[in-house]
Structure 1
Amino acid sequence: MSASTLERTARPRRSRTRSRTVNARPALALSTLKPHQYDLRPACASLVCPDCETWVPITGLGTKTTKVVPHDTGRAGKDAAARCRLGSNRLVTVDVTVKKWQERLEDGHAETGHRRKTTVLRKPKTAVAPAVSQIAAQKKQTAADDEHGDGRPMWLLREMKWASTESAVRDADTRRAQLPAGAAPLGAPSVPLKTLHPERPAS
């Protein structure tokens, strides 16, 4: 990669710098950031710059001049070389211990881990109303089903059939009501349906 290309792209962010320049803005307190917006591990001490919203190393951790290193707003070697003038060399106040930061970070993971996705309640699909032509076709089909082969409607045929069997059905019901309760023995004479009053023989 040529020198002209390096000048036009963002420079790598070093974790340590010898620059004594200090930003005139008030120091940035870590307690004002969320636990996932900074890292207090000594090997990778860094935070999200509130101005350019990119991860930036913290230099001088544990000293009086803990600050954010000078950095560009884009990715190193890819984005344009635009210096973050508001966030570079800004002092950092470490008012959160490593233990407290880890506890807050674990509590945040526990809360998000138990979340459940919202169940989407879909509306039931409404049945499509039939067209006028379909309704007319259904009425014609129903009328055709009610007509017999000889042109007489089905209800008239049912009435005529019932009239022809009505007397036989009523006779069967009458005989069934006169039989005594219980099953008749096989091979026995028929049980009389009327009460018998035998007469004494004349002496």
Structure 2
Amino acid sequence: MATTTAEPKARKRRQKTRTKNVSPLPAIVASRLTASQIDLTPGKEHVICPTCMTWTPITGVLGTPVLVPHHTTPYYDRTTTTPRRCSNSNRRIILDTAVDAWQAELAERTEVSSTVASRRPTRVTRKPRTAVAPAVMQIVGGLVDDKTARRLNEAHIKGCSTCTVKDEKGTILRTADIASRCADGRRLAQLAAHTQRVGPARRTAQMEQEEWSARGERGLRLLHQLLWNQHAKAVGDADVQRVDDALTAMIQTLNPRMADAPQLTDWERADLMSAIALLATQKDQLERQR
């Protein structure tokens, strides 16, 4: 006897009861909220709860608008095991702001915030400090020595009428004071005095630098010689072995062991003999150098 299977039927669920309770707290006035704290999009009315600061839907927009009962923690926070209902549940809200006015204010705030972000100052890049220019004596003093500076000063004094004191006949009596000289004469006098003062120290530093350079070069030569002495025998043996292998290969080519090997022509044999003689000479020289 065939049995019929009954189709499964879903269990009737209880409908959610709508409460008529209203919170005794004072009503929230929408006009006192900023455009970013409320959403008056038709069918999606939301507001930020003043107590728990969560976005809460608004129900009864066409009648008595109240906040939907909600918990103090967001719905997506599953870590809370003992949720607590917010005290602003079922709190009345007065929607005294038109949707058009709310949208205009929201657009204005968005535009202002974008312009403010663009007006924010960027990072200040400090200009590098200008290095202090060295004095003329420091620039020229490093190019000439004390003897050259003294010769330049003497040559200028002989050819300048301002830097010398002469008699009626034009004979040079003495050198004028530093204050009475011309601009070039004062510079050359200062240069001569400066190079004379720093000349001994400069020559001493130059001699020390040359001595250290000579020591470094001498040390490099000694190190190169030491390393070569350590590997000279191995290098010589390798050179002799390389020439000996090439010589053995040429001798085998000149005198093949196989009877059916190709025969060399007279020209090829002569070239091969010359190469063998050259390699034999190189091998003899390398063995003498070891």
CA distance in 1, matches of 2:20, 2:128: 69
What secondary structure, in the 3-state scheme, does the structure 1 residue paired with 2:36 have?
A: helix
The verdict on how the C-alpha distance between 1:125 and 1:21 changes in structure 2, with shifts beyond 3 A counting, is farther
Report the CA distance shift for 1:146/1:66 in structure 2 as closer, same or farther (over 3 A).
same
1:141-156 paired onto structure 2 within 5 Å: 145-148=143-146, 152=147, 154-156=148-150
> Displacement, 1:95?
0.7
Give the conservation status (yes or no) of the 8 Å contact 1:17–1:69.
no
Amino acid at match of 1:78: D
The SS at the match of 1:43 is: coil
Q: How many residues align?
A: 137
Structure 2 partner of 1:31: 31
- Give the TM-score taking structure 1 as reference length: 0.56
Gaps of 5+ in 2: 1-15, 133-137, 162-290
- In 2, Cα distance between equivalents of 1:117 and 1:128: 32
Q: CA RMSD in A?
A: 3.2
Contact between 2:51 and 2:86, CA under 8 Å: does it hold in 1?
no
In the alignment, the residues of structure 1 paired with residue 26 and residue 125 of structure 2 have an alpha-carbon distance, to the nearest angstrom, of: 52
Residue aligning to 2:122: 119
Q: Measured at CA, do residues 39 and 128 of structure 1 come closer, stay the same or move farther in structure 2, by a change above 3 Å?
A: same
Which residue number in structure 2 is paired with residue 57 of structure 1?
Answer: 57
SS of corresponding position for 2:43: helix
Sequence identity of aligned pairs in percent?
Answer: 27
**Separation of aligned partners in 1, 2:109 and 2:57:** 23
SS at match of 1:41: coil
User: What one-letter code is carried by the residue in structure 1 that aligns with 2:154?
Assistant: M
Distance (whole Å) between structure 1 residues aligned to residue 66 and residue 17 of structure 2:
10
Q: Is the 8 A contact 2:52 2:86 kept in 1?
A: no
Name the counterpart of 1:157: 151
Q: 2: distance between equivalents of 1:28 and 1:93?
A: 6
- Say whether residues 1:75 and 2:74 are aligned partners: yes
TM, length-normalised to structure 2 = 0.41
Partner of 1:41: 41
Q: Report the residue type matching 1:147 in the other structure.
A: D
Shift of 1:75: 2.4
Query: What residue number does 2:106 align with?
Result: 105
Q: Render the CA deviation track for 1:129-167: whole Å, top value 9, x for unaligned.
A: 9xxxxxxxxx8x98775535xxx3x33110234467779
Distance in 2 separating the partners of 1:112 and 1:51: 26
SS of 1:35's equivalent in the other structure is coil
Cα offset, 1:42, TM superposition? 2.1
Unaligned residue ranges in structure 1 (runs of 5+): 1-15, 130-138, 168-203
The structure richer in helix per residue is 2
Contact 2:67 2:89 in 1 (8 A): yes
3-state DSSP of counterpart to 2:154:
helix
The structure with the larger Rg is 2
Structure with more contact order per residue of length (Cα contacts < 8 Å, sep ≥ 6) = 1
